[in-house]
Amino acid sequence: MKTKDCFLQKKLPLKILLTFYFLVSILPVFSQAEKSRQPHIQQISSVAFYDDYFFTGSDDGCLIKWDTSTIGEHFQVSDLGIKQIAINPNGYEIAIYETDGFAVHRISVWNWKTKTRKFAKRFSDSINFLSYTKNGSYLMAGTTSVDGLLFLNVQNGTPLSVIQESTGIVSNALSGTTKLVTYDKQGFLKYYSLSEGTKTEQFRCEPNLNDTKFVYRNGRYLVGTKNNSIYIVDSTSGITKNIILSDNPIILKSDDNEFYYIENDSENFCI
């Protein structure tokens, strides 16, 4: 299915070799930060953007902060793979989901400027996504348990009661100041009132999308991947607006007019 683009999508001509060096056991402080152009030693599994810099996380347990100088600041934070990254709207706290893919599922929050860990919390189930609410009041974590979406206290990780009903397993969520929208792989976009904690409406949409992101001006569109394609879905109606063919894509970010993604060509990644 092809329709006229609602906004632009870009694949920038930049090659990233996914190699980096060592692993250390997790500590409540970063290992000594190192600046270099050296990338990860294992595959990049998560990316998060903030203003003029972004973080990459990898199965090597390393976070790298990149800026326009192309020199990365490396932080070895875990002996586990880093599968999710979320940056607090304050800009200096970063939440990560670390896992061995089997028994250990941990969310930790770090102050990357002071290089200290704020808290760490273990879960019995895997985490689908991490995201802060718009004003940074809560850290949202999508679990694969019946509890579904969790809202965590940003000071200590304690779960809080915000939505009064179970959301079920969700793949992504976006918070505004008064509303929340979620996507689940059964193919539903659901809207909730944050003040009332109740569901207000829902739409049928494309099911089984992976690597989903709400993009473009307060999340007007949901983008996700399936079958070597990128789907662009109108989040206000659930209608698929465009499908872009792409080889193993990973969605990165968007601004007012464009979104960006990584494409895997089996040897390197193109952004």
The tens digit of pLDDT for each residue in 191-221 reads 999 999 999 999 999 999 998 989 888 889 9
240 phi, psi to nearest 5 deg: -75, 120
Confidence check: pLDDT of 71 > 80:
no
Mean pLDDT score, 118-141? 93
pLDDT value at position 76?
Answer: 84
Sign of the dihedral through C-alpha 31, 36, 38, 40? positive
Separation CA 46–CA 56 (nearest Å): 6
CB 219 within 8 A of CB 256: no
Q: How much is the pLDDT for 5? A: 44
User: CA 94, 127, 19, 50: dihedral to nearest 10 degrees?
Assistant: -30
Mean pLDDT score, 222-249: 93
- Cα–Cα distance, 145 to 132 (Å, whole number): 20
- Taking residues 34-58, what's their average pLDDT? 79
Q: Which residue has the tokens 């968007």?
A: 254
> pLDDT at residue 6 above 90?
no
Residue 64 has pLDDT above 50, yes or no: yes
Q: Can you give the pLDDT at residue 73?
A: 83
Write down the pLDDT at residue 182: 96
The reported pLDDT for the residue numbered 9 is 54
pLDDT reading at 121 higher than 60: yes
**Residue 117 to residue 105: CA distance in whole angstroms:** 17
- CA dist., res. 87 & res. 139, Å (int): 10
Confidence at 61, pLDDT banded by 50, 70, 90:
confident
Question: For residue 75, is pLDDT > 80?
Answer: yes
Q: What's the pLDDT score for residue 23?
A: 28
Q: What is the pLDDT of residue 264?
A: 59
What rounded mean pLDDT belongs to the chain?
A: 82
